Structure formats: C-alpha cells, structure tokens
C-alpha cells in the first residue's frame, strides 16, 4: 500500500519542535495532579469516616430495636401462656357445667334418628310427605340443636302418635298397579292400612307414595274394605293387616289358581284334561238319561199305549206282539228285550268311573315325580335352602290336589248317573213283567 | 245361645279354610237327606204301603205267573220308593273323607308356599296352614263316620220294610 507522502512528513516533524518547553510543563502538571489527588483522597477518607459513623449509628439503632422486639416477644409469650392457662381453666369449667347437657344432646340426636327411621316407614308420611327430611338436620349435624329444631322433634312425635289412632280420609295422588299415577280419595286406618277405590294400598317408603296392591285379598276382606270406603255413620267393620302391610305383601307372592295349576306341570294338565273329558261324558249321559227317564215315566202313566221311543214301551211292544201268551215264552222274550235295553242306559258310566279312579293315581304319580325332583335338588344343593325344597314339594302336592279335585266331582256325578240309570233299569227288570201281565189281564178282561 | 253357636261354627270355618266350607255344605246336604228319609218312613211310607196292600188284596188271581210278576212289581216299586235318596247319601258319605284329604293337601300346599316365602324361620305363618290342613280331615272323618252309621240304619230299615211288605203280599 502507498501512504500519501505529506502525511508521513507531518508526523515526524511535530514532537521535535516542542520538546524543551514541555518537560517543565509536564512536571508542573504532575505536581498539580498530585495535590489534586491527595485532596481527593482526603475528601474520600472524610466521606468514608462519615459513612462509618452513620452505619455504626444505624447498627446501634437496629440493636436497640431488636432488643425492644425481643422484649415484646417475651411479653407476648407470657401473655399467651396466661391466656392459654385461662382458656384451659374456662374449658374445664365448660366441660364441668355442660356434662349433663352433652348427654341430652346425644339422646336428642338418637331419638331424632329413630323417629326419622320410623317416619320414613310410617303410613302417615303418605298423608304428610317430607316429615322425615325435617328431622335430618337434628339427626345428622354435629352442632347443638336449636330450640326450633327441638320443637319440631316433639311436634312430629306427637303428630305421629295422634295420627296413628285416627281413621282419616284425604285426597292424594296414588299409583295404579301398573305404575300410572291418579288422584283419588284415600282412607288411612291408623298406621296399619290405606284403602282406596281399587282396594288395599301399599306404602312405598322411598317415594312416600301409595300404590295399589297388585293382588288384592279375595272375598270378604276386599268387600269389607270397599264397603268401609263408602260407609256412612260412626263405625263400620273393616279388615286390617296388623303387621302394617307384611301380610298383604305376602299375598302378592302367593300364586293364583292358574299359576298353581302350572306348578303341577305336565301331569297336572293330563289330570285336568281327563277331568274335562269325564265332565263332558257325564253331561251328555245325564241329558240322555234324563230324557229317557222322562219318557219311561210318561209310559208308566199310560201303560195301555206302548210307544217305541222309550225302553219300556219297546219291551211292551215285544211282549204284546208275541204269538203265544205262554208264561215261559213270555218270560224269555221279556228277558231278551230287557237285556237289549240295558247297555245303552249304562253306556259311558264305566269310563267315568275309570277316570275318577285314574285321576288320584295320576296325582300320586305327580307326587312321586315331584318328590324325585326335590330329592335331586337336595342331592345337588343339600338341605341348606328350605325354599328350594319347598318349591319341589308344593309342585308334588299340586298334582295330588288336582287328582282329588277331579276325582271328587267325577265320583259324585258317577253316583248320580248310576242311580238314575239304576232306577230305570230296575223298572225294566222288575216291573216290566208285572206291567205286561197287567195289560194282558186287562185285554183278556 | 244360638249366636254363640254360630260364632263357634264361624271360628271353625275360619280356622279350617275353604275346604271346610265344602265339607259343611256336604254335611248339610247329607243330614237333610237323612232327615227326609226318616220323615218319609214316618209319614209317607205307611200311606203308600196301605195303597199297595189294597191293590193286591183287590186281585182275585193270586197264584198265576201274572200274579207273581205283578207282586214282584209292587215290591220293586216299594223298594225304589224306599231307597230313593240312599245312593246319594252313600256317595256323600264316601266323598267326605276325600274332601278332607283334599283340604289337607290344599293346606299343605299353602304351608309349603309360606315356607318358600319365609323359610323355616316363621313358624306362625306355617301354623295357620297346618290348621287348614288338619281340620278338614277331622271334619271329613267325623262326617263320614256319622253318615256311615246313618246310611247303614236307613239301609237296614229299607230291607226290613221291603221284607215286611213282601210278607204281607200273600202269594198262594
């Protein structure tokens, strides 16, 4: 690179021209600088000292404050201690003076809890819903009950007591047995039962509602209940469930007639079918015999005009149509005619008798098969669960019952049939000969 | 007095259940029939007997085959009249133990139902059904024994009356 020549020359020339004069100046300058510096140093020292003093003062102040605070802490600690002592004493005093009260509060809480459970289950709550909820703050809270709450407690108690002894009629929405709500008149009998137009009601504690029992008690109790609902005057008889609904509840578990028959199983159906067949036969035979009997009686009234629409008349016709009146021939003819007439009269009877005899036997068969099932259940599950065995046993008994239920009417009806046909047959066997003789004697004059 | 009696019967029915009612109906039927028979023997039969005897005595012919048959007819007619309701009485007598048995089985079924619902814990629930099971048997048996005696008496009486009548209808 190439510097400009004039610039280089200027640089070399400058110091040489001022050299002698400047050294003095420099010295003076240095001396002046030295005095200035020492002055600055002194000033700084003074400042530092002042600062130090100030700090020391601050320190002293802080120390004094610490001391003061420590003293304050000491004081407060002492005060705390005395206060604690006082508190302890007061607490002790409180404990001593509230000892009986604590027990009372516990009792109140327990009573409230019991009453709450009672009210939840009580039928009266269906009339006045929400009572149990009012007791919840007393029974569940840890605080002392207020005066108002205590009053609630005993008012509810008294209310339950008086309501338990009343028969009341009130309007309320109840549930039908299929769950549909409807408004109706309800009569509550104490805490035992509630009755509405459809019959006895069931109380549902969960929703404080009334529901119609799905199966009403049969016969008299239900009739009494319905009469009671519409009864006028002071008193009327009614059937109540003293177990507060347990018995009525039981009722919904017991099977009705059809369910009972189903318990009998296949053999039960067979027995019933046989019974139905027997009844049909009996009905047919009874009408036939009744008609024949009427005709025979009519024929007995008019011995002179034999008709062929009845057995007696046919026997007369046979006897009177005989070519000879020789007693022996006549007797033989009559016997033959009678023998011809008897079987149609006795038709079906042996079958009815057979059915009446077979039905109890089938029932026995059903019993045995039911017992076999029961014992199988025992061998599988042991005797621990009586319910398991009871089901099988009742199944066994149902067939026996069905057998008897079929046999008894069939036997009765068979007896009716037999006595009816027997009467007619006796007339044919023992009286026709006499009647024929009577006619013949008359003809001969 | 009568009220107490009715009360007792009501109690018995309540304890015995439905079947006892059936047995009671059978009992009423049976004793009505028995009473009717005795009244018949007392009042109606003597009159009928006189009529038959008169009819027989009016006949001149008392020795031919015809007369024999006519006599047989008279006796048969008498027997029919005398025995008229006897078969019904007998069948009621034989039915009443069966009805009792029916009640027993019925009560047992209900007892086992109670057992199925409550288990063996609730003896009281079973007790009612046991009385429902035993009382019909008692009632049925009582009725059967008493009725058997009555029906035997009537049967004997019928036989005696028939024999007496055939003795009086002389066949020469």
Q: What is the ipTM of this complex?
A: 0.83
Quote the crossing angle between the two packed helices A432-444 and B65-83, to the nearest 10°: 140
Contact between A264 and A393 (Cβ < 8 Å): no
Beta bridge partners of A204: A209
pLDDT (tens digit, 9 = 90+) per residue, B45-90? 999 999 889 988 888 888 888 888 888 888 888 888 898 899 999 9
Report DSSP state, residue A348. T
Residue B62 tokens read as: 């008392």
Long-range contacts of A302-306 (CB under 8 A, 24+ apart): A303/A435, A303/A438, A303/A439, A304/A439, A304/A442
Mean pLDDT of the region A339-348: 91
Tokens 């068979």 sit on residue:
A414
Mutation target to probe the B interface, by most B beta carbons within 10 A, among A353, A397, A420, A441 is A397
Residue-level pLDDT at A4: 57
Mean pLDDT of the region A96-105: 77
Quote the crossing angle between the two packed helices B86-118 and A246-253, to the nearest 10°: 110
- Look up the pTM and report it: 0.65
Other CB atoms within 10 Å distance of the CB of residue B165 = 22
Residue A438 tokens read as: 């009577």
Provide the b/e sequence for A23-44 (b: ≥16 CB within 10 Å).
Answer: eeeeeeeeeeeeeeeeeeeeee
Entry field: residues in chain A: 445
Ramachandran area for residue A128 (φ above 0: left; ψ -120 to 50: alpha; else beta): beta
| Residue in A404, A412, A414 with CA at minimum distance from that of residue A351 | A414
Other CB atoms within 10 Å distance of the CB of residue A244 = 17
Residue-level pLDDT at B137: 92
CA distance A197 to chain B (A): 26
In whole angstroms, give the CA distance from residue A187 to residue A200: 10
Q: Which residue would you say has higher pLDDT here, B116 or A126?
A: A126
Write out residues 259-298 of A within 8 Å (CB-CB) of B.
Answer: 260
Beta carbon pairs, A and B, within 8 Å: 104
Write out residues 397-436 of A within 8 Å (CB-CB) of B.
Answer: 397-398, 400-401, 404-405, 407-408, 411-412, 415-416, 418-419, 422-423, 426-427, 429-431, 433-436
| A203 Cβ contact list (under 8 Å, min separation 6) | A123, A125, A126, A194, A209, A210, A211, A245
Select from B80, B94, B110 the Cβ nearest to the Cβ of A423.
Answer: B80
In whole angstroms, give the CA distance from residue A7 to residue B66: 198
Task: For residue B125, list chain A residues with Cβ-Cβ distance below 8 A.
Answer: 250
**Whether pLDDT at A1 is above 70:** no
- Say whether residue B6 is in contact with chain A using an 8 A CB cutoff: no
């Amino acid at each position: 690179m190439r510097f400009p020549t004039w610039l280089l020359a200027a640089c070399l020339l400058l110091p040489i021209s001022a050299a002698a004069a400047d050294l003095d100046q420099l010295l003076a300058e240095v001396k002046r600088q030295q005095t200035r510096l020492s002055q600055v140093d002194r000033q700084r020292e003074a400042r530092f000292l002042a600062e130090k003093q100030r700090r020391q003062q601050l320190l002293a102040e802080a120390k004094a404050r610490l001391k003061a605070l420590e003293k304050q802490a000491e004081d407060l600690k002492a005060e705390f201690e005395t206060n604690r002592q006082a508190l302890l004493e007061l607490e002790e005093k409180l404990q001593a003076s509230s000892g009986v009260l604590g027990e009372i509060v516990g009792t109140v809480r327990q009573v409230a809890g019991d009453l709450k459970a009672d009210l939840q289950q009580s039928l009266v709550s269906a009339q006045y819903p929400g009572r149990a909820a009012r007791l919840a703050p007393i029974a569940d809270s840890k605080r002392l009950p207020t005066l108002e709450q205590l009053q609630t407690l005993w008012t509810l108690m008294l209310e339950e007591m008086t309501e338990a002894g009343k028969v009341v009629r009130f309007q309320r929405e109840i549930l039908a047995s299929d769950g549909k709500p409807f408004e109706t008149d309800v009569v509550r009998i104490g805490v035992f039962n509630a009755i509405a137009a459809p019959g006895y009601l069931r109380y549902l504690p969960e929703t404080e509602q009334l529901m119609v029992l799905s199966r009403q008690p049969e016969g008299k109790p239900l009739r009494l209940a319905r009469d009671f609902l519409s009864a006028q005057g002071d008193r009327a008889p009614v059937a109540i469930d003293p177990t507060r609904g347990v018995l009525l509840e039981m009722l919904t578990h017991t099977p009705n007639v059809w369910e009972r028959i189903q318990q009998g199983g296949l053999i039960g159906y067979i027995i019933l079918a046989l019974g139905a067949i027997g009844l049909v036969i009996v009905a047919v035979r009874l009408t036939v015999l009744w008609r024949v009997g009427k005709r025979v009686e009519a024929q007995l009234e008019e011995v002179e005009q034999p008709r062929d629409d009845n057995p007696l008349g046919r026997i007369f016709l046979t006897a009177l149509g005989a070519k000879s009146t020789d007693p022996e021939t006549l007797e033989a003819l009559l016997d033959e005619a009678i023998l011809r007439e008897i079987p149609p009269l006795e038709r079906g009877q042996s079958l009815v008798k057979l059915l009446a005899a077979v039905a109890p036997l089938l029932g026995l068969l059903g019993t045995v098969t039911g017992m076999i099932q029961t014992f199988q259940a025992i061998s599988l599950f042991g005797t621990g669960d009586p319910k398991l065995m009871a089901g099988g046993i009742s199944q066994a008994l149902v067939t026996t019952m069905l057998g008897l239920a079929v046999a008894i009417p069939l036997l009765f009806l068979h007896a009716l049939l037999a006595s009816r046909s027997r009467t007619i047959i006796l007339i044919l066997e023992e009286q026709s000969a006499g009647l024929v003789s009577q006619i013949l004697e008359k003809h001969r004059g | 007095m009568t009220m107490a009696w009715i009360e007792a019967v009501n109690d018995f029915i309540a304890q015995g259940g439905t079947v006892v009612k059936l047995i009671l109906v059978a009992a009423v039927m049976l004793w009505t029939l028995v009473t009717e028979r005795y009244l018949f023997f007392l009042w109606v039969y003597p009159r009928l007997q006189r009529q038959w005897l008169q009819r027989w005595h009016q006949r001149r012919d008392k020795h031919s085959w015809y007369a024999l048959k006519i006599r047989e007819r008279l006796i048969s007619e008498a027997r029919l009249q005398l025995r008229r309701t006897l078969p019904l009485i007998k069948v009621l007598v034989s039915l009443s133990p069966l009805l009792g048995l029916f009640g027993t089985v019925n009560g047992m079924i209900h007892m086992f139902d109670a057992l199925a619902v409550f288990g063996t814990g609730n003896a009281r629930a079973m007790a009612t059904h046991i009385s429902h099971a035993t009382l019909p048997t008692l009632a049925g048996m009582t009725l059967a024994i008493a009725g058997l005696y009555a029906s035997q008496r009537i049967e004997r009486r019928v036989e005696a009356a028939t024999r007496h009548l055939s003795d009086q209808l002389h066949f020469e």
